[in-house]
Structures are given as C-alpha cells and as structure tokens.
Structure 1
C-alpha cells in the first residue's frame, strides 16, 4: 500500500485546513479565538459565574457523578412537566445564524417542526443555516463587515481569529442578566452546569454568551463492538493489544482505523492516543506555570503509535481525501471498525444510521497510566446583537426555552418535535416517525441556540446507552481537564495559525514516515520559539486572574 501523501493532505489530516485555522483543543486556549488587552481577563473585575440551580427531574436508572458520568435513562419518564410557564416572545422576527452538519431544512411553510417551535416561542425565527464547510469563511466575512448583525449568532469551538474582539465590540454584555443570582430569572439557564460557563469563558471579565453544554468526554474512539467481539478483542486492552486489534480488523476491503480530514477533530485521533498514554490534556499547570503536552514523552509515544498504525496499513486508504460525513458513513456501514468522533455523536441519529448492523461502543484508553482528555464542556456559545434590555431578555427567554431539561414538555418539542406527527410514545418510550427524519433540530439547528444538559437516553437502544454508561464509569474518573479552557492568549490570537501549521506539519510528517520520530524535538523547539512559550506565559497570567 502506498502511503505517500502531499503536504496539503498532511495538514488536513492534522486538523489544520483552509483559512489556516487551528484545531481548537490542542494548540489554543480553548473556546473562541483569543486575545489580550481589552479581551484579557487579567486585571479586570470579573463577572460572577451564574449560580447553578439544578433541575429536579425524573429519577434515572443509574445516576451521574462529578467525574462527568451522565445520568442513564433506559426508559422514557412516564410523566413530563412544564419548565416554562410564561410567554416567551412578542410576535417579532428574530434572525439567527447557526452552523449545520446536515441537509438544508425544509422551508418554514412546509416544515411542521419549524412552525411548532415558532408557535411555542411566540416569535418568527428567521434562520440563516451555514453548512459547516463554509462556516469559517462565513464567520470571517460577518466579523469583517459593518453590516447589521443577526439577533443571535452561534459561535462553535472552531478557533476563529479575533472572535473575542468582535464579540466584545459588537455583541451584548450579558453579565447583568445572567451573572450570579440574576440567572435565576431563567431557570433552564440556571440548570446549565458551571463547567459549561467556564468552558465558554469570560471576555474582558464579562459574560458575553450562553454556552451550548456538552458532556465532559472529549473526542472519543467509536468502535464496532460486534466486529471486535467476533475477533475476540477485549474491552480493556494494552497498547500492544490495541495495535494488534487494528491489524486484525483490517483486510478484505475493511480497515481498523477511520481517519478523515477535519478542522475540528483533534489531529486524526491523536487526542485519544495521547490520553491513552498519559499525556497532559493540551497543557499542564503547576506552581502557576503552564507546560505544553507537546513537550512530554507521552505525547511522543502517541505519535509512535499513530506511525505504527500507518506502517501496518490499518487506516482507510483514502482518509486524506475523505470528509467526516463520508467516513462516518464508512463506520456506520462497517467498512471501518473504529473512528474518532465527538462524543455528541452518541445519539439517536447515529443509531438510526448504523441501522442495527452492529453494536456501538466506545473504546477505552489502552495505556496503564491513561489520562483520558476531557472536552471544554461546550460545543460553543450563543451571542446576541446589542439591544435594549427588553430585547435582550426576550432572546434570553428563547435560549431558556430551548435549554429545557430532559423530562419536560419543552425538551420534547425542541428535541423530538410534535407528538403524533414527529414522534409517538408507548411503553418503550419515544418512537420517531418518518416525518422526524425530514424535520428535526439537526436539519433546523435550534439545538445551537440553546441545549439542555445531556443525559444518556437512546430511545429503542437501551443496550447501547448502558454500554456508554459503563464506558463512562470505567474511563471518566481518570480523565483530566485542560487548565487553559476558557482562557485568553494574545499570541494565540495573532499567531495561532502559524503555530498550528508547525505542529500539524510535524505530526503528519512523522506519522506518515516522512520524518523520523527523533525530529519531533526540533518541531517542538520551532513551535516554542515561534510563540508557543509566549502563549504559555499569557495563559499563566490569565489563569491567575481567574482564580
């Protein structure tokens, strides 16, 4: 098999694609693009984090815990309650801009889900849906223009250059509305865990958005458990057993490893390998100093594992030109037996695409001293155009409604649609209809305007939900957070693309055998001199200011 590839493909696999944007979780201070000066939190009066008031909902079949294990529901609650008791909107138009990872939604006149959401919210949502391949460029154009802004703008965790300056200058400061006890006016926003607000972070000491909560697991290894069980591959494995497993699952036009080009995915899965081998999550902090995971021997060992995977031919051969959507399809149909994906892909939509071909599971870390990496606790955040307080409160009520927790009527509408049209309920719980497949909160991405704290419930697939819960219990107590989450760095904002390219070039060249493993020290040295050490100093100052 010919593993020779060109430089552009190397960068794509490494997570450094068009626009020179960095993969958000490895080189940057997580969250939106960062900066110093006005957007730095150092030396500023800090808005208090919103008070956490958890929703007292239905009793799960197995509880969550502080390590990030989610509440498990094998059955749907027999009774649901209302969480919003007052009118939300005023009948006005509300323009929103959100990213999308699917087909365009049906027009509102033909879309019963869209109509029902408008009716519940009491507004006319005018949704600008941006396909994710166009998101970076569309956002850059929006931020560079002097045009009037949409009422609500969704920022993903993609590291957009100078996003923090844009948000501070042109988006509303929400501190007085949601900081501290003020958030109690919006009970569903008060139910968002503090880690989500911290994952979003402050800008210039202020709160400028509403976080889109995600569970704490970072990108995870999705595995075809049926294929692995057939091959006798254990759930708990060593490094050698993992490598042997990927070789064993390769052959007859099937492959053990599915990689794909992406701006989001964390460098072809290196986050999974680095965490398996005990590397710190992006940075480590001690005595007030920040040290990059790139400098650790464990990270270098992760590169060696990836190189062995390539040398053994275990990865899908067209990985470098395959989109994330296509690679997901190859995983769903059994062409590849494993792939790294965001934890949010543990979903009903994924289960429907697998269509009972195999049992889905998540791969446990393989090293004896594993430090599985946590994500930032958010998928991104929602900002508002500057407006009068009454208008800001209306937009907050929209976010509050769409963030209603599991076990409420509002959650049902936001996530499943209209009962009797998009879903039905019986003794086994929620059953979605064919109309749901055409109208849902992925095709019309209202879930990127407000989202509930996630629970583990997969209607029709309780065994998968139980398997994921078991994975969480086995994995998350050892998981580690990135201490830079939510912090700002001026050097990252100005040199992030350059720093990412240095690392992306180095990782991909070593992984695919174009440079020896010993070249990694020179790559790290170049990164440090180009600004990596300065980023570390700035993060240390920001960290001290946020204590």
Structure 2
C-alpha cells in the first residue's frame, strides 16, 4: 500500500485511493486555506521569507527501511516487499492514558465503535481516541457548522478542498499554534513528524502560525493511463506529441463498437502544453511582470487542442456530458483506451481487476511537450489535507496528542505503520507469501483513513502484493521528475481577499463550453478583459506585493 499516493488534483481521485489503500493526497488542489500576512491581520495574504523559516520544524529524515527503488529528483521511492522483521520507529508507549475526540471525513461504511482495530491501536498508543467520522461527501457543511460553535473535537481533519467561506477564518481562530512544540529543533522530540518534508510543513502555516499537521503528497499525482493489454492487441504505437495523440484518437475510436480512444484528458492536456492545471492562483513571471494562466498563449493552445479532440469525436460522449464518476468503469470495461486520473487510483484498479480480468494491464503514459519536446510539468502542492488541534487544550494535552500523531506518522516498513494501516495480524490481515492480505473483519474495521488523517509519512509507493506495479509506478514518476519545476508561489498558503473570491469562476464554465464546442477559443479574450476590469489587475498588484515582501516559493 502507499500511505500518500496521490492522487489527482481532485477529491475524486483521493476517494479512489482510500477505497483500497491509505488516504491519499490530492495534488493540485486550490490554495484556499487561511494564512496570513502582517498587513492583513492574519486573515488574508501569505507567510514567507525569514518569518516562514522560523516557524518550520527542522527536517530530520529517517532511514529505517531502505527502498528497493530509490527516489529520483524528488520522486516517490518504491518498496516491492514488506520488510521482515519490521522496524520500530516509536520507543515505548507514547500516550499518558488520555482520551481524545477526533473528527475526520470518511467515505464508505462507518466502522463500529470499540471494535478490535480501535482497541488494538489505542492500546499501542497508550491513550484512547474516540472518532466521530462524518460523511466525506457533505463534510464541508458539517465542518462549517461545527466550527461555528464551541463544541469542537480535540483534533479535526480538514481537506484543502473544504477550506472555503468562513472555515478559513475558523482555522486561525479555533486551532492551536504548534510552533512552540514543533518549530526548529523542537521537532526532534517527534522523529516521525520531523521526517515529514519541509514543503508539507510549509503548507501547514495558517494565519502566520504553524497550525496544521500535514499529509504529504508526491511531486506529481496525475497521469494519462492507457490499456496496454488492449493497445498491444491493436499493434498501437504510443503517441509522443500532441499531433500523434490526436491521430491516435482518430485511428482507434470506433463508435459503432462503442469504443472511444479517450475519456476527458483536460488536466493532462494542460500539462502537455505547459499549463499548471486547476489552479486559479497560478501566476508566472514573464519579463518581470506577473501573468495569470488565463492570459497565456499556452492556455489558449491547450483549449484549442482539447477542442480538436471534441471535433474529431474521439472523446467518449459520457465524458463530454460530465459523467466523470463513471470514467473508471468506462476504462476497465474497454470503452475508453486512455483516461486521465490521479495516480492514487492506479493500485486500486489493478487490485480490483486482478481477479475480474487477469489480462488487465494499466500503464501511465510518459508526458511530453506538445511539440514532442521535453514537457514543462509543475510540481503539485506538497500537502493538501491537514489536521488541527483544538487551541483550548492545555499544554500537556497538546504534547500528548502530538506524541500520538507522531506514532500515526510512522513510515512504511515499521511496526507502527503496519498496525495503523492493516490492524492486527491474524484478526485484520493474514500474511500470504510475505504479503498482508486483509480479512473481512479487516476490511470492515481497519480503516487507516481514521488515524492516518492525523499526519502521515512521506509519500512512497509500496504495494508488496503488486511488486511489478511498484516498479512501473515508481519508474514512471522517476521519468517525469526531471521535467518538474516549482510554480512561482509553490507551497505558499495564500488567501486572496474575499472581493476576488469569484473572479476566476466564469473560466470554469467557459473552458468546458469551448472544449465541448459551445463557444470559440477566441471567446477567452473577452473573458480575460472582463476579468481584468473586474479586479484582475488589482489582484495582480496584490500578488506582486506578496512576491516583493515574501518572495516566491521556488
């Protein structure tokens, strides 16, 4: 399993990975969480420069279990086996007998309270965590209601996509500043937390203070997947530029047989054209001037190419109709040959199809520049899901809770990781050829998306039951990694003033209308002019001020 294998820049991909593995981090999520700059009273702006460095924990990587496939340029390391014996990352029992309430999202069936999994983990923690899991599909509404009141759990998980409206302000006002416990050398007390990369901690600064406990994400978490088993049978050659991708679509789409070459590829089409996808706060420097993605020639070129795919009839009609929830079904059913998704879905689909269709062979296409040259790939945000500690807890309770979180953040190959992610051997899983296989009780009870939400270890690719997938996945990421660069405001929690909140919204509908043939690419010009007059130019100055005062995240 992979503790943070990511996912796409969307919660949909996150859900796909949690169904079969531990919780994933959606990369590419909008930077909506609250964070502050001194000029904005902690409610809007960003924290950077020396002020940021003083807040962050000291990075102390651990090397308890060496990977089979090392990291390359920041790519996730790969583990093809479960170590035997398992390493130990936490000495003794971290808890002091306390009882804590936790609020986390959950997708699927809520486990029974006081089950064998909770009992075993709480015994190992030396404390009792009582979960109040909430439906992830309506989590934002629940969070908003809870944070508006006074009855707030001791530790609360908030995904980045839920940090909207007043929730961002509540993060600053309701949750504890963890800097006194974790900043700088203080992190040495919690070695598994100190093992979390600095970028993830940087994303955990809200309102000028270190408030979040992060789930780290990989450097790239979205891919175009293809059915190698089907393409081999067709004798198909993989495309290596935009023109070849279009030609591939025309050649292998057969509507009469209900087979289309593609599902919706928009996210990765933007990557092919060097555009940072799904990021309304994306800016770059062009001749010393800040330029938003919607103003760039690359954005228009990506739209024009996506429109060509539509006009050629090579995109599945259900994808054109925004029936995204069925994309995986279309892919596994052979109705599409390529589709775009978060890499967190990879292991889940391979695992599912290993019994249903043993011939199923899913691979990720190496990304390319539109002209066939080297791609320009922007790194995903280093974290997108965070947990927060109630500020009303006394110091000794916060310290105890941090010790528990340190346990849940144990890296792959440790006893602690195995317990959190799989439960008790013989009860929740059994080993078959050295691979943990979940029992029915394990599927029902041992949901790592509970404890693991508190904080999780660095992103790795670890599927001992599918070692060939580990090699393929880790190899793919390693090949993409040399082409990855950090966007201008990488890792900076930026909160725009509320008056700009809906400024980008019209472009969500416009790009769909253009790609689906309802409007022209040239319509972008008028929309950009409206954007500028409606506040875009003011927003440009606002970001320029951040850049001047705080520096970039590169």
1:534 shift after superposition: 3.3
Aligned counterpart, 1:463: 468
Deviation track 1:434-462 (CA, whole Å, cap 9, x = no partner) reads 333333335x5332222111222212211
Q: Is the 8 A contact 2:105 2:135 kept in 1?
A: yes
Partner SS for 2:205? coil
Aligned counterpart, 1:355: 354
Partner SS for 1:436? helix
Change beyond 3 A, Cα 1:541–1:219: farther
Aligned counterpart, 1:93: 99
Question: In structure 2, what is the Cα distance between the partners aligned to 1:395 and 1:333?
Answer: 46
Change beyond 3 A, Cα 1:228–1:429: same
1:440 aligns with 2:437: no
TM-score normalised to structure 1 length: 0.85
1:202 aligns with 2:205: yes
Aligned counterpart, 1:185: 189
Aligned counterpart, 1:450: 455
Select which of 488, 492, 498 maps to 1:487: 492
1:391-430 equivalence runs, <5 A: 391-430=397-436
Partner SS for 1:337? strand
1:73 aligns with 2:73: no
1:503 aligns with 2:504: no
Q: Is the 8 A contact 1:487 1:543 kept in 2?
A: no
1:468 shift after superposition: 1.2
Question: In structure 2, what is the Cα distance between the partners aligned to 1:164 and 1:152?
Answer: 16
Question: In structure 1, what is the Cα distance between the partners aligned to 2:64 and 2:200?
Answer: 20
Aligned counterpart, 2:315: 315
Question: In structure 2, what is the Cα distance between the partners aligned to 1:42 and 1:409?
Answer: 37
Question: In structure 1, what is the Cα distance between the partners aligned to 2:105 and 2:56?
Answer: 27
Q: Is the 8 A contact 2:381 2:490 kept in 1?
A: yes
Question: In structure 1, what is the Cα distance between the partners aligned to 2:243 and 2:217?
Answer: 32
Change beyond 3 A, Cα 1:280–1:250: same
Change beyond 3 A, Cα 1:534–1:203: farther
Partner SS for 1:509? helix
1:524 shift after superposition: 2.3
1:217 shift after superposition: 0.6
Aligned counterpart, 1:227: 230
1:59 aligns with 2:66: yes
Change beyond 3 A, Cα 1:271–1:283: farther
1:107 shift after superposition: 0.6
1:534 aligns with 2:552: no
Aligned counterpart, 2:18: none
Change beyond 3 A, Cα 1:301–1:436: farther
Question: In structure 2, what is the Cα distance between the partners aligned to 1:35 and 1:163?
Answer: 14
Change beyond 3 A, Cα 1:335–1:489: same
Change beyond 3 A, Cα 1:464–1:130: same
Change beyond 3 A, Cα 1:381–1:31: farther
Question: In structure 2, what is the Cα distance between the partners aligned to 1:137 and 1:339?
Answer: 31
Partner SS for 1:499? coil
1:127 aligns with 2:128: no
Aligned counterpart, 2:267: 271
Q: Which ranges in structure 2 are unaligned for 5 or more consecutive residues?
A: 1-10, 13-25
Question: In structure 2, what is the Cα distance between the partners aligned to 1:188 and 1:129?
Answer: 25
Aligned counterpart, 2:5: none
Change beyond 3 A, Cα 1:228–1:157: farther
Aligned counterpart, 2:261: 256
Deviation track 1:202-244 (CA, whole Å, cap 9, x = no partner) reads 2232111111111111333233232233333445621122223
Q: Is the 8 A contact 1:223 1:338 kept in 2?
A: yes
Change beyond 3 A, Cα 1:42–1:172: closer
1:193 shift after superposition: 0.8
1:50 aligns with 2:52: no
Question: In structure 1, what is the Cα distance between the partners aligned to 2:446 and 2:253?
Answer: 35
Question: In structure 1, what is the Cα distance between the partners aligned to 2:404 and 2:87?
Answer: 18
Q: Is the 8 A contact 2:32 2:160 kept in 1?
A: yes
Provide the aligned C-alpha RMSD in A.
2.9
Question: In structure 2, what is the Cα distance between the partners aligned to 1:287 and 1:322?
Answer: 38
Change beyond 3 A, Cα 1:488–1:432: closer
Aligned counterpart, 1:292: 292
1:113 shift after superposition: 2.2
Question: In structure 2, what is the Cα distance between the partners aligned to 1:325 and 1:112?
Answer: 33
Q: Is the 8 A contact 1:97 1:130 kept in 2?
A: yes
Q: Which ranges in structure 1 are unaligned for 5 or more consecutive residues?
A: 1-11, 14-23, 260-268
Select which of 517, 521, 526 maps to 2:521: 517
Question: In structure 1, what is the Cα distance between the partners aligned to 2:427 and 2:438?
Answer: 9
1:116 aligns with 2:144: no
How many residues are aligned here?
Answer: 508
Moved more, 444-453 or 462-471: 444-453
Deviation track 1:382-422 (CA, whole Å, cap 9, x = no partner) reads 11111211111122112211110012100111112211222
1:342 shift after superposition: 2.5
Change beyond 3 A, Cα 1:295–1:73: same
Q: Is the 8 A contact 2:503 2:534 kept in 1?
A: yes
Select which of 374, 383, 388 maps to 1:378: 383
